Amino acid sequence: MIEQVKKTINDILSAKKKEEARRIVLNAEVIASIRKINVMDILENYVRYVQSKHKKPNEYVVYILKNKDRLTKSDLYRPFLDKDAIQLLKLGEVQGIGTSNILREYFETSNIIKKGLDKIKGAITKPLIMYVLVSLIGYYIINSILHQMQSMSMKEGLSTLATIKTLYFPIIIAIGLVVYIPLTKYPEKIPKLKDAYKAINGYKYGNIMLFFLSLGLSVNDIEQSIRKSIKNYRSRKKGFEGLAEFLEQYFDDVEIASIKLGVELNQFDSVLRSIIEDKKSTFDKVIEQAVAFLSETLILLSMIPAVLVMIGMYEITVSVMSLMSSSPH
């Protein structure tokens, strides 16, 4: 149990350091792209500045600077950037395109997506934390009542309350796992949450396609790159038709019809860009609807420990009333 707690704490700290590295590096890459400065010079200045304040710089940034001469950026950034960004970097390295320009373009999209994912994660995490706290308080109440009954030699209702205490944590843990596992392992299959992930993925993959097109790559290169990097890419068609077929799982019928018409008119990129711009304006609304659904649904989860406590309180009330009615007047 102690080892598991330590592992959880280490995972949280590691995730925090990775997020910090992501923020530092992406900001540095954007500045490097705009100001035409070497990004490694920016990161070196960051390390010196932090050290001058007698603080420890981010360990991933230190790793980047130590290995900048022997590894590509896609390898240097792999530990903390998502796989889509790494795929873009690898493509840029192969095509000889400036990686700072690539990450600058990706920066806005990734931040919008991350903001949406963080909202969903918060909507899941906060109720689960409340569930744990309410469960601990509930157990304390039941245990205290049971101890008080034993000290007063009250036998009525004692066995029921003792049973509740014995089964309390197994029930709480089982229900928590039944809720937690689907939310974290299969979120894209849960109603409302499914719509949010559909919007997120559609926005993400649409932007990636547009960015590839802006690099001047051929549609066949784009289609093959996406086919290799995305596991659920199962389109049997090639080129623009293959990309359009892949987007069917994320876009609605009108959007797909527009995209296919764009393919026929050789205007795939302009049609897709207009759809993505529209999705950007509705992105937050879809996320907020999913968050509201999760919050309202998971609040009910916190009522389960309270119900168990109420059952225990009911048994005590019945026992006291029974004692009062049987005692001589």
Distance from first CA to last CA of the chain, Å, rounded? 54
Q: Give me the pLDDT at residue 64, please.
A: 94
Q: Give me the pLDDT at residue 155, please.
A: 62
pLDDT tier at 321, thresholds 50, 70, 90: low
Task: Choose the weakest-confidence range: 63-72, 96-105, 246-255.
Answer: 96-105
pLDDT tier at 3, thresholds 50, 70, 90: low
**Distance of alpha carbon 90 from alpha carbon 60, whole angstroms:** 19
Q: Give me the pLDDT at residue 41, please.
A: 93
Would you say residue 17 has pLDDT above 60? yes
Would you say residue 180 has pLDDT above 60? yes
Would you say residue 157 has pLDDT above 70? no
Q: Give me the pLDDT at residue 5, please.
A: 44
**Distance of alpha carbon 90 from alpha carbon 96, whole angstroms:** 10
The tokens for 269 are 């990129």
Q: Give me the pLDDT at residue 57, please.
A: 92
Angle at 274 between CA 269 and CA 275, to 5 degrees: 95
Would you say residue 313 has pLDDT above 90? no
Read off the pLDDT of each residue in 245-260 and give the average, rounded to a whole number.
89
Would you say residue 215 has pLDDT above 80? no
Read off the pLDDT of each residue in 138-145 and give the average, rounded to a whole number.
82
More confident residue, 312 or 147: 147
Q: Give me the pLDDT at residue 66, please.
A: 94
Would you say residue 296 has pLDDT above 60? yes
Would you say residue 315 has pLDDT above 80? no
- What percent of the chain has pLDDT above 90? 11
CA 171 from centroid of its chain's CA atoms: 27
More confident residue, 60 or 298: 60
Q: Give me the pLDDT at residue 324, please.
A: 61
The tokens for 114 are 């991350």
Q: Give me the pLDDT at residue 45, please.
A: 94
Q: Give me the pLDDT at residue 1, please.
A: 43
The residue type of 234 is R
Q: Give me the pLDDT at residue 137, please.
A: 85
Would you say residue 50 has pLDDT above 80? yes
Read off the pLDDT of each residue in 37-60 and give the average, rounded to a whole number.
92
Read off the pLDDT of each residue in 67-73 and give the average, rounded to a whole number.
91
Q: Give me the pLDDT at residue 291, please.
A: 82
**Distance of alpha carbon 308 from alpha carbon 301, whole angstroms:** 12
The chain-wide mean pLDDT, for the chain, equals 81
In 238-302, alpha helices (H): 239-247, 253-264, 268-299
Read off the pLDDT of each residue in 210-236 and give the average, rounded to a whole number.
78
Would you say residue 229 has pLDDT above 80? no
What is the torsional sign of CA 114, 116, 117, 123? positive
Q: 56 φ, ψ to 5°?
A: -95, 120
Task: Choose the weakest-confidence range: 52-61, 92-101, 175-184, 271-280.
Answer: 92-101
Would you say residue 307 has pLDDT above 70? yes
Give the global pTM: 0.69
